[in-house]
Amino acid sequence: MDIKGGTEAQPLAGWRMGARRTLALVAVLLVAGCNGELPEPQPEDEPSAEQAVRPSAPFSLPGDLLLEEGLLRFQPCGLADAQPVDDETGSEARTLIENLGYGTDRVRSAVVLDGGRLLEVRHATPEGARCEDLLPDAEWEARGNEPFWVLRVTGGEALWITPDDQEGITFEGGEWRQADPGLFRYEARLDGVDGVEYLTLILEEEPCHDTMAGARFPFVAQVEKGGSVYAGCALEGRGLVPGL
C-alpha cells in the first residue's frame, strides 16, 4: 500500500469531480432553455467510502480477573476486595485466566462491566505491569515483535519506538479514516531533509493475541512505514478513558 501514491492521486480525482459538475451544469442549462424553467436540484455525489472517523472503545476498567473456588471475580485497581461477576464472555474470561495466569488463578486485565455482569475482556496480560499502567498513556497503542516496535497515537501525533530509538520518532498531521465497518486507518507524515516519510496504521476490530507473551488485545494492527509492513496488536489507552 503506497500512501504517497494515494496522496498524489488526489488531484486527478478532483479533476474528475470538477468535470462531472461541469457536465451537470451544461445539462441544467439545456433543460432550462427547452422548458423555460430550472429542474429540481440534484443531490451531490455520494460521499467517499472512507469517513473521517477514529475507532471507538467502550469504558474499560483495569484490575485483576481471578477465579476463587470456581467463582469468577474482578478486583479493580486500588481496591482490596474482588467482587463476583457473571461471565457473559462465552467462557473467554476463564480461558484467559487458565492460559495467562500460570497457576495463580489471576490475570491482569481491562474489562467492560455492566453492574455485576462481565461483558468483555478488552486486554489481558501475564506481564507484571502495574495495575494503574495496564492501559497505555496514549489514546491508542499498537505493538509487535520480531522486530519489536511500539506505536503510540494521540490526536494528530504518532510516536514510533524501536529498540534502536527508544525516545521515538514523532509523525505529525495524523488523521483517522474508516474504510469499512470495524476497519480503521490512520495516516501521518514526517517532514525531513530527505523528503517526506509516511506512516500508516491500520486497525481491525478483531481479537488479537501477542505472538510471544500471549496477551489478549481488542484490535489486530498493521503498520506500514518506509516500505516495510509490521504486524501486531493494538489497545485503546488512558487518553480515551476519563478519570484514568
For residue 109, the domain's CATH number is 2.40.50
**Are 164 and 220 in the same domain?**
yes
- Reported as a single tens digit per residue, the pLDDT across 48-66 is 546 688 898 999 999 999 9
Same structural domain, 236 and 153: yes
pLDDT number for residue 169: 96
* pLDDT score of 222: 97
**Segment 204-214 mean pLDDT:** 92
Query: Is residue 24 in a domain?
Result: no
Q: In terms of domains, do 106 and 149 share one?
A: no
Give the chain's domain count: 2
111 and 159 belong to one structural domain: no
pLDDT band at 241 (very low <50, low <70, confident <90, very high): low
CB 107 within 8 A of CB 101: yes
Residues 113 and 184 both lie in one domain: no
Instruction: For CA atoms 239, 101, 215, 66, give the dihedral sign.
Output: negative
State yes or no: pLDDT of 88 exceeds 90.
yes
SS3 59: coil
- Of 92, 113, 131, which marks where a domain is finished? 131
In a domain, 181, yes or no: yes
Q: Among 115, 131, 147, where does a domain finish?
A: 131
Q: Is 142 in the same domain as 215?
A: yes
How does pLDDT run across 174-205, given as a tens digit for each residue?
Answer: 999 998 899 999 999 999 888 899 999 999 99
Among residues 131, 164, 192, which one ends one of the domains? Answer: 131
Express each pLDDT in 123-175 by its tens digit: 999 877 789 899 999 999 999 998 899 999 999 999 999 999 999 999 999 99
- 8 in a domain, yes or no? no
- The reply to whether 107 and 195 lie within a common domain is no
158 with 102, same domain: the answer is no
Give yes or no: residues 83 and 171 share one domain: no
In a domain, 198, yes or no: yes
Note whether residue 202 is domain-resident.
yes
Q: CA 85, CA 58: separation in Å to the nearest integer?
A: 18
Whether 159 and 183 map to the same domain: the answer is: yes
Please provide the DSSP assignment of 141-207 as one string: EEEETTTTEEEEEETTEEEEEETTEEEEEEEEEEEEEEEETTEEEEEEEEEETTEEEEEEEEEE-S-
3-class SS of residue 105 = coil
Residues 80 and 155 in one domain: no
Would you say residue 31 lies in a domain?
A: no
What range does the domain containing 220 cover? 135-240
Task: Indicate yes or no: pTM above 0.85.
Answer: no
Residue 168 lies in a domain: yes
Is the residue at 218 inside a domain? Answer: yes
Q: How far is CA 132 from CA 11, 63, 75, 76, 78, in A?
A: 47, 8, 12, 10, 8
Alpha-carbon distances of 11 from 17, 59, 154, rounded to whole Å: 10, 41, 29
Q: What is the pLDDT of residue 102?
A: 85
Residue 171: what pLDDT? Answer: 98
Q: What is the DSSP letter of 41?
A: P
